[in-house]
Chain A
Amino acid sequence: MTETIQLALKTLEAQLNQPLETALEACARCGLCAEACHYYRAEPKVEHIPAFRAEQLRSVYRYEHDFLSRLFPVWTGAKKLDEPMLANLTEIAFSQCTLCRRCTVNCPLGVDTPLMMRAIRAMATASGTAPEILVMLADAAIEKGKDPSFYKEMFLEQIKEMEEQLRDVTGDENATIPVEKQGAKILYVPLAGAHTILPPAVVFNAAKEDWTLSIFEASNYGVFLADVNRAKQVAKRIVDEANRLGVKEIVIAECGHAYASYRWDVPNWFAGQFDFKVRSLIEVLGDYIREGKIKVDPTAIPEGVTYHDSCNLARNGGLIEEPRYVLKNVAQDFREMTPNKDEAICCGGGGGLVALAEYAERRIAAGKPKADQIKQTGAKVVVAACENCRLQIGDINEHYNLNVKTTAITDLVVRAMRLPKPLPGHEAEYLFEGEGAAIARE
């Protein structure tokens, strides 16, 4: 047995607990999971049935844990793990499952196939066979946490420039983007780019919030690798920052996996050091509108708007009504996709897939059911509160000629706030509107 296989099996053994063993033992092979999976709906073949994917790991588990299977593997379909099998398992777990959990909620026994896919991802990561780019992105994030000084000066310069843009678009000379503000109520954690800093800054300033911007990004590629050690190191940067600044609350940018991990996993990983409320930025927007802290024009967006439920926010995070509350307050013509909410179909970009160029063709093919749903709404704007979903919807928009615009909820809220000037890069959106067009021309 090679060292790679030893490491993979050792990792499988280390993960075996009641939920994983139940998932490995409980399948009734009824096949009801097939239609739940966007891969199967896009291309109905046996390899795309979640139970078939799970069976590949179950065969290894049986060989290792069932005496009869070890003696007569052919009878029970048990297989001894070898390198080609590990490569096949790795490909299945990283390219044919987005961990969306739609199969789980549609399984009569509640078999958690994504949990098994996570187990394979962990085996691949530990044995050095996981996709290199995900490992690289996780390690780069950890590096930032070890010594932020190598980029902090440049980061602060960028924030100063964004602050000038903020003052320009809002007309508020006192608008600020505070960084490392001791004792602030909220630590807002963006993604890496300006598009997740400037629009929320507009909202926080309008609501006169006591907030501060994190110097780290919310994304956590350790989560996609199912590597708890790496994922903890990435999250620790923000936990330490929140503790150092003494904030009360951590607010996560519009990002599916980051919200799910900070809401559900991180408080357990850092039990005793994590005394913070965690909210998504969407919940904050909803509260500001409800409490009248920000004023939005309900007629600001006349185009048909539809909402894509990110799996990590809706099915796995419980954020179902809040985005709809916000959108119904800013969009005149809100249209639901069918099915939606906790039964929403995955866009195909989750689980880190959008970062894996080698699987791009497969990812776009798996996005067909979502493209069909979007087409059926007739909407011109597709809103998604997750960066990976937006990237994927952007790609399927191009591939399936959907002719839609993809945007974040915060961008629409800011547009409905009727700023004196549009945000940089958002000028074209104002041309949809009579009044906005006039503003843009001035």
Chain B
Amino acid sequence: MSEAKLFLDFKGLLCPMPVVKLAQAIKQIQIGEMLEAVATDPGVMADIPAWTRTTGNELVTLEKREDKTIRFVVKRAK
């Protein structure tokens, strides 16, 4: 279990919508805080790292789980 302040459910959303929603949601937490999300579109495996690299936020975890969902944790850095 992460120390995330915000949990987001992106299951069923197709790329790039998870990134769009993530970009909106990150503004709801403070710098240094984390959010956790679950998605199903495999496109997030590329899109989320690309987004964190571009925006300067930190990708703490990105993992594919046994139930085929993809879990990721992002720390707001800016």
Assembly CA distance A355 to B43 (angstroms): 16
| Residue pair A136, B54 in contact (C-beta under 8 Å) | yes
Residue of A nearest to B44 (CB): A192
Q: Which residues of A contact B9 (CB under 8 A)?
A: none
Interface contact A140-B41, CB-CB below 8 Å? no
CA distance A191 to B43 in the complex (A): 8
The reply on B45 being an interface residue by CB < 8 A is yes
Q: A217 CB to closest chain B CB, in angstroms?
A: 7
A-chain residues with CB within 8 Å of residue B64 when the two chains form the complex:
157
0/1 per residue, A122-137, Cβ < 8 Å to B? 0000000000110011
> A194 contacts the other chain (Cβ, under 8 Å)?
yes
Provide the residues of chain B in CB contact with A192, threshold 8 Å.
Answer: 14-16, 41, 43, 46-47
Among residues of A, the one whose C-beta sits closest to the C-beta of B62 is A154
Contact of A143 with B53 in the complex, beta carbons under 8 Å: yes
B23 in the interface (beta carbon within 8 A)? yes
Within the complex, the shortest CB–CB distance from A72 to chain B, in Å, comes to 46
Given that A140-B50, A151-B45, A217-B43 are known contacts, is A191 also in contact with B23, CB under 8 Å in the complex? no
Tell me if A212 is interfacial: C-beta within 8 Å of chain B. Answer: no
Binary per-residue interface labels of chain B (45-73) against chain A in the complex, 1 for a CB within 8 Å, 0 otherwise: 11101110111000000101000000000
In angstroms, Cα B17 to Cα A47, docked, is: 30
CB of B50 within 8 A of CB of A151, answer yes
In the complex the two chains form, is B15's CB within 8 Å of A150's CB?
A: no
Closest to A144 in B: B50
Q: Are A143 and B50 in contact (CB under 8 A)?
A: yes
Given contacts A132-B23, A193-B14, A193-B15, contact A140 B51 (CB under 8 A): yes
| CA A391 to CA B20, docked complex, whole Å | 13
Q: Given A155-B46, A217-B43, check contact A195 B14 (CB 8 Å).
A: yes
Cβ contact of A387, chosen from B14, B42, B55, cutoff 8 A: B14
Q: Tell me the count of chain B residues lying within 8 A, CB to CB, of chain A.
A: 22
A407 adjacent to chain B (CB < 8 Å)? no
The prevalent SS among residues of B at the interface is helix
- Residues of chain B within 8 A of A137, CB atoms compared: 16, 19-20
B2 contacts the other chain (CB 8 A)? no
Cα of A158 to Cα of B54 in the assembled complex, Å: 23
Tell me whether A355 and B53 are in contact (CB under 8 A): no
Q: Which residues of A189-206 have CB atoms within 8 Å of chain B's CB atoms?
A: 191-195
Count CB-based A-B contacts (< 8 Å): 75
Interface SS of A by simple majority: helix
Q: Is A139 located at the chain interface by the 8 A CB criterion? A: yes
List chain A residues, Cβ under 8 A from B50.
Answer: 140-141, 143-144, 150-151
Determine the distance from Cα of A133 to Cα of B20 in the docked complex, in whole angstroms: 7
A387 to B20, CA, bound (A): 15
- Contact residue among A136, A162, A193, A357 (Cβ-Cβ distance under 8 Å from B41): A193
Cβ contacts under 8 Å, A355 to chain B: 16-17, 20
Q: Are A194 and B53 in contact (CB under 8 A)?
A: no
- Pair A391/B17 contact, Cβ less than 8 Å: yes
Report the minimum CB–CB distance from A111 to chain B (whole Å): 33
Determine the chain A residues whose CB is within 8 A of the CB of B51 once the complex forms.
Answer: 136, 140
With beta carbons under 8 angstroms apart, the residue of A140, A142, A194 that contacts B19 is A140
Chain B residues whose C-beta falls within 8 Å of the C-beta of A155 in the assembled complex: 45-46
Q: How far apart sit A155 and B23, CA to CA, in the bound complex (Å)?
A: 22
Closest chain B CB from A15 CB (angstroms) = 26
Q: Of all chain B residues, which has the CB nearest A135?
A: B54
Taken residue by residue from 20 to 56, chain B's Cβ proximity to chain A (1 for < 8 Å, 0 otherwise) reads as: 1001100000000000000001110111011101110
**In chain A, what residue has the closest Cβ to B55?**
A136
Instruction: Determine if A219 is an interface residue (Cβ-Cβ < 8 Å).
Output: yes
Query: Which residues of A pack against B, CB within 8 Å?
Result: 132-133, 136-137, 139-144, 150-151, 154-155, 157-158, 161-162, 191-195, 217, 219, 355, 357, 387, 391
Q: Can you name 12 A-B residue pairings with CB atoms under 8 Å?
A: A136-B19, A136-B23, A136-B54, A137-B20, A140-B53, A143-B50, A150-B53, A191-B14, A192-B41, A192-B46, A193-B42, A355-B17
Please provide the 7 A-B residue pairs with the shortest distance between their CB atoms, ordered closest to farther: A192-B43, A192-B15, A151-B46, A140-B50, A154-B45, A158-B42, A193-B43
Known: A133-B23, A191-B43, A194-B43. 9 other contacts (CB 8 A): A139-B54, A140-B19, A140-B51, A143-B53, A151-B50, A154-B62, A192-B15, A192-B47, A194-B42
